[in-house]
Structure 1
Amino acid sequence: MEDAVTEHPRLQLPPAVMKVVLGRQLARLREDADATQDDAAEVLGCTQKKISHIEGGSGISLLELNALLDRYSADDGDRSYARALQAESDNRRKKGAFSTRFPEHLRLLVDMEPSCNRYSSYQTLFVPGLLQTEAYMRMNLRAWRPSLTPRQADANTANRLARQGVLDSEDQHFWFIVDEAALRRTADPGVLKEQLLHLVENIVDRPNVEFQVVPFGVGFYMGQGRDYTIFGYDTKPAVDIIYLEHDEGGEYVDNSKRTTRYLTRWDYQRAAANGPEQSRRLLLDLAASL
């Protein structure tokens, strides 16, 4: 994907992300050409709803893409970029890729973690997975039902720890906001203390990581109780994809209106949280109390 990764040669965007980028690019080209979705539908002989899906990231065939690029009078640079995105978005995940170690609903999430430019995570009841110690992971796994076998628990833990390698990429920026409730819930005070000290000693001073805690003293605040992660891509055009966690599975949101609401929620929660140094002090105080 030469044109699509010129500015960030380290990136190989997941196909699902490239479909979203391509959809946004087509929407931009259509608007620049003063064309409506109905006009585009007439070119393809389809419904306006299909054009909406294409622009939302459902994908498009090369034949249809070329027809739209002609209708929009796209220049050579935009044509090359759009065709490269289309070609790469049809690629399947490589056999044996790291993400295939995880359940299907988590594979896109795992693919996006090392490929995004900005990673923003809000958590209410758990320390974020990328920041967990092995003991903390295993403590949480013991709450799963049906219970995991020792072999399953070992494999799950090893895979989760391997994901944390993305934090070593200083080309990416990671920002975590955690409710104080996540830093107090435990079945083992010793494990929680180790986890809190890990955050202080190994996380908060990383040059590519920001860590904030929303203390109980804030009271109620906007969006509390709904965990989510924002994956930001500096593509052309820029794209933000939201991952919403559920008890079973998860939901990926790339609709511009819904995405905007989560970006606004993030701004409010960042403002409600303690600053980095106040958050460090809170972590140390909580660890000292255990």
Structure 2
Amino acid sequence: MKKVLGAELERLRLQSAVTQEQAAQRLRCGQSKIAQAEGGSGIKAATELDALLELYGADENDAAYARALQAESNRRTKRGAFSTRFKHHMRLLVDMEPSCNRMLSHRSMVVPGLLQTEAYMRAQFRAWRPSPTQDEIDRDTANRLGRQRVLDNAGQTFWFIIDEAALRRTPISPKEMKPQIIRLVEVIDRPNVELQIVPFEVGYYMGQEHDYTVFEYDTRTPVSIVYLETHDGGEYVGGNKISRYLELFDQQKAAAIGQERARRFLLDFVADL
């Protein structure tokens, strides 16, 4: 909501031909504060938001929308909410999965968490060092299985691109991998899911080494947020870099095979296991 509010404030400011410096003068702050607010840091004080809306000449509808966004962005996460089960860097990700309009995901070496079988999850968690306890593995597995329910949200679209390497170098045995491949085939039949595979025969393609997810929101001012996977956490990207990742995803879609060819590829793959 902070990202959406920032995009809306930027739209109103540009529409009124006000510069960031002029907005900063109204709030008696530095220009960087305006830039950060528009980038998604949020605005806590209602008086500051009202001052900007007045400066921008926002009409009643725009002002009400901005105030609702501010109220939502400043609302604390309820104790016991599903996202609070996760580490801090994961909480925004878990909140965005069920709230976005579209999710675009590329995975080069690992099956996406939303598509993993329980056996795959447990093996992946066991591979961490230092080794987690059995209780920690049980907890993390239950949490990831809980996240997968988001795929039942018919009003959202989920688009996955998976490199063949993610199917070849796995944490589980070929016997355990068969149900994982069947799971991917079944996902193809969901009306709100697109799944593409990039076979080795394609050769090199742009961004083949990058794992990332794009969350798109069809808000009044459309907003996209990119989550980059890292070894020990994750990084959220906004601003001008967003368009580069959207272009990259289009290039990867062009390199990958489509749904029906992906189905045949997966069925042939599982037959050879």
Output the TM-score relative to the length of structure 1: 0.92
Question: Among residues 104, 109, 120, which one is paired with 1:136 in the alignment?
Answer: 120
- Name which of 229, 234, 247 aligns with 2:231: 247
Equivalent residue, structure 2, for 1:14 = none
Q: 2: CA distance between counterparts of 1:62 and 1:247?
A: 39
TM superposition shift of 1:278: 0.9
Partner SS for 2:105: strand
2:42 corresponds to 1:55: no
One of 110, 113, 135 as aligned partner of 1:126? 110
Structure 1 distance, partners of 2:70, 2:82, is 24
Could you tell me which residue of structure 1 aligns to residue 182 of structure 2? Answer: 197
Deviant stretches of 4+, over 2 Å: none
Task: Pick from 280, 283, 289 the counterpart of residue 263 of structure 2.
Answer: 280
Map of 2:199 onto structure 1 = 215
Q: Which of these residues, 151, 154, 158, is aligned with residue 167 of structure 1?
A: 151
Structure 1 position 141, deviation (Å): 1.5
1:262 to 241, 245, 268: 245
Give deviations 1:57-94, integer Å, cap 9, x for gaps: 11112111111111111100001001111111111111
Which residue of structure 1 aligns with residue 85 of structure 2? 101
Aligned residue number for residue 43 of structure 1? 26
Once the 2 structures are TM-superposed, how far is the Cα of residue 158 of structure 1 from its aligned partner?
Answer: 0.9
Q: Which residue of 2 aligns with 1:30?
A: 13
Alpha-carbon RMSD: 0.9
Give runs of aligned pairs for residues 78-117 of structure 1, distance below 5 A.
78-117=62-101
Cα deviation, 1:114-155, whole Å, max 9, x if unaligned, reads 111101110001110000000111121221111111111111
Instruction: Work out the CA distance in 1 between the residues paired with 2:5 and 2:89.
Output: 22
Q: Distance in 2 between matches of 1:138 and 1:130?
A: 14
Could you state the TM-score of these two structures normalised by the residue count of structure 2? 0.97
Q: Once structures 1 and 2 are overlaid, which stretch shifts more, 212-221 or 182-191?
A: 182-191
**Separation of aligned partners in 1, 2:129 and 2:199:** 31
Determine the structure 2 residue equivalent to 1:71: 55
Amino acid at match of 2:229: E
Question: How far apart, CA to CA, are the structure 1 residues paired with 2:216 and 2:176?
Answer: 32
Amino acid at match of 1:269: Q
Identify unmatched segments of 5+ residues in structure 1: 1-17
Q: Which runs of 5+ in 2 are unaligned?
A: none
Q: Does 1:178 align with 2:173?
A: no
Structure 2 match to 1:188: 173
How much does 1:289 deviate?
1.1
Query: What SS does the corresponding residue of 1:236 show, helix, strand or coil?
Result: coil
* Number of equivalenced pairs: 271
What is the aligned partner in structure 1 of residue 209 from structure 2? 225
Structure-1 separation of matches of 2:24 and 2:51: 11
Q: 1 CA distance for matches of 2:127 and 2:166?
A: 15
Q: Distance in 2 between matches of 1:148 and 1:70?
A: 54
Identity %: 60
Task: Return the letter of the residue paired with 2:191.
Answer: P
CA distance in 2, matches of 1:188, 1:134: 13
- Partners of 2:139 and 2:24 lie apart in 1 by 48
Question: 2:130 is paired with a residue of what secondary structure?
Answer: coil
